[in-house]
């Protein structure tokens, strides 16, 4: 008879509202032939969840201990995590352009939400109040509960109108536009914004040079 995973209890701090975007952006330069990738296996997902994802170390360690001797289960969880990430990208891509959400992507999110840690009890920890969760079974949704909470709150809230995709077609980084005007176009002026500015300057100079040569 196959062993059943022990249920885990722990604490999860309220995630930053954009932690779901951080997760989506673990795949970068989506417009390039070979995009950048931070997550190459479940160990990378676990490391991300413990760090940027805000998952309690004890929860992540308990899950890792369960998955380590079960490579097939670990591989399946990793596949589910990547599928969730790509579904979230499609949802935020649609929101950023004012389009209707992809029903298949929404199904992936909703299915995962059904298995995420419930936000039903708040408890003190150190000098803060956090979510107290129990009965967690090792799985993608439990591990990425902060991502799922963040994504559902953002998509269902008014802040979804501030979701943007970087205007650099090679970048496609997802971010929240916190500018007063709400017209931010670039993930960062220091990178994509300056590249676009330099390219416009180059085209302007080339056009001027071409005009001079034809005089």
Task: Note the pLDDT tens digit of each residue in 122-162.
Answer: 999 888 899 999 999 999 999 999 999 999 999 999 999 99
Q: Which among 106, 112, 178 has a CA at the least distance from the CA of 147?
A: 112
Query: Exposed, middle or buried, 158 (CB in 10 Å: 0-12/13-18/19+)?
Result: exposed
Task: Give yes or no for residue 207 having a pLDDT over 90.
Answer: no
- How much is the average pLDDT of 53-57? 89
Task: Tell me the fold of 8-161.
Answer: Jann2411-like fold (1.10.3300)
The band of 202, judged by pLDDT with boundaries at 50, 70 and 90, is: very low
Using CA atoms, how far residue 168 sits from 22, 148, 211, in Å, is 18, 27, 28
Is the pLDDT score of 41 beyond 50?
yes
- Give the SS3 label for residue 97: coil
H or E segment and range at residue 176: strand 174-176
CB 55 within 8 A of CB 133: no
**Residues 143, 32: Cα–Cα separation, whole Å:** 30
Share of residues in the chain with pLDDT > 70 (%): 87
| CA 53 distance to own-chain centroid | 9
Distances (CA, A) of 64 to 31, 81, 137, 158, 166: 33, 15, 12, 36, 34
CA 114 to chain CA centroid, nearest Å: 18
**C-alpha–C-alpha distance, residues 45 and 66, integer Å:** 15
Place 198 in a pLDDT band, splitting at 50, 70 and 90: very low
Tens digits of residue pLDDT in 170-193: 999 999 999 999 999 999 856 695
Q: What is the pLDDT of residue 203?
A: 33
């Amino acid at each position: 008879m196959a062993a059943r995973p022990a249920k885990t209890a722990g604490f999860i701090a309220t995630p930053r509202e954009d932690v779901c975007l951080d997760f989506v952006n673990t795949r970068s330069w989506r417009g390039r032939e070979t995009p950048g990738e931070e997550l190459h296996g479940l160990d990378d997902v676990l490391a991300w969840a413990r760090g940027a994802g805000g998952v309690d170390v004890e929860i992540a360690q308990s899950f890792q201990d369960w998955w380590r001797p079960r490579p097939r289960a670990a591989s399946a969880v990793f596949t589910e995590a990547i599928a969730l990430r790509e579904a979230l990208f499609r949802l935020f891509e649609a929101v950023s352009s004012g389009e209707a959400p992809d029903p298949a992507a929404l199904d992936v999110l909703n299915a995962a939400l059904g298995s995420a840690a419930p936000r039903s009890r708040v408890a003190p920890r150190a000098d803060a109040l956090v979510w107290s969760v129990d009965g967690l079974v090792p799985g993608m949704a439990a591990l990425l509960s902060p991502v799922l909470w963040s994504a559902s709150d953002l998509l269902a809230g008014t802040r979804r109108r501030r979701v943007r995709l970087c205007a650099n077609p090679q970048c496609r980084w997802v971010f929240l536009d916190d500018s007063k005007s709400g017209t931010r176009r670039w993930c960062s002026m220091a990178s994509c914004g300056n590249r676009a500015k330099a390219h416009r300057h180059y085209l302007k100079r080339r056009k001027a040079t071409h005009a001079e040569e034809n005089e």
